[in-house]
Amino acid sequence: MGAKGGKSKQDPTILTEEQLKRLQNCTRYTAEEISAWHAGFLKDCPSGKLDKKQFLNVYKKFYPEGKADKYCNFVFKAFDSDGNGWIDFTEFLTAVGLSQHGELKDKLGMAFDIYDQNKDGQINRKDMVKIIEAMYDLANEEDRRGEKAPEKRVELIMKRLNKDDIVLRLEFIQGCLKDEFLRKILAPNTAQPFGMNTTDGVQTTTINISDETGAAV
């Protein structure tokens, strides 16, 4: 996503020509669409910085019956590629574009990044249990007994991946590519709360932060 260490050297509210071209290449959005996304992003984040609290507010609006905190933390950390505690526009749109337009293997790579919280290129049973618990919280799933228990789910996942404990990035991607069941469990659409609307033929964007009702701003 964003260049490591680059945020502190540049005004995060400015979209440079270089960033625009890079985003066109990696997101498949046109320059006009990117500019619309940028305007929507700055409307809700005038500082050009999307912090964890704002990010959590997005998820709470789309999952009012669930507990979004845990899952939001996982996704936020994956979006915040340089780990400085906030998401700039480039990081934001790169992730959203990948989720909407990326190849399946790239989307699976994003899912892996959500699991791989310490960014060491591998995930284990404990990592998977935590993310499945977070998914249950998000969906307000209270029945976690028997085969629905997070530990049982992980046991099934490991069995289908033919692994005991550690799963590497490539193994994760290849396993999910071959197994539709695993894809449904392990590759959620991480950009779901972020939307794009069309009004009178003009594309506008919103990240649904400032409108307390959760409607498009």
Query: Which CATH number goes with the domain that contains 49?
Result: 1.10.238.10
In this structure, is residue 95 part of a structural domain?
yes
Q: Which residues pair with 105 in a beta bridge?
A: none
Residue 211: band (very low, low, confident or very high) from pLDDT cuts 50, 70, 90: very low
In this structure, is residue 77 part of a structural domain?
yes
User: What is the pLDDT at residue 160?
Assistant: 92
CA terminus-to-terminus distance, the chain: 26
The domain tally of the chain equals 1
In this structure, is residue 217 part of a structural domain?
no
In this structure, is residue 183 part of a structural domain?
yes
In this structure, is residue 1 part of a structural domain?
no
User: What is the pLDDT at residue 193?
Assistant: 52
Residue 14: band (very low, low, confident or very high) from pLDDT cuts 50, 70, 90: very high
In this structure, is residue 18 part of a structural domain?
yes
In this structure, is residue 2 part of a structural domain?
no
CA 37 to chain centre: 16
In this structure, is residue 128 part of a structural domain?
yes
Residue 61: band (very low, low, confident or very high) from pLDDT cuts 50, 70, 90: confident
| Three-point CA angle 91, 191, 35, nearest 5° | 55
- Residues in contact with 68: Cβ distance below 8 Å, sequence separation at least 6, in sequence order: 56, 59, 60, 137, 138
Taking CA atoms, 47 is separated from 24, 75, 86, in Å, by 23, 21, 11
Task: Print the domain residue range for 105.
Answer: 7-206
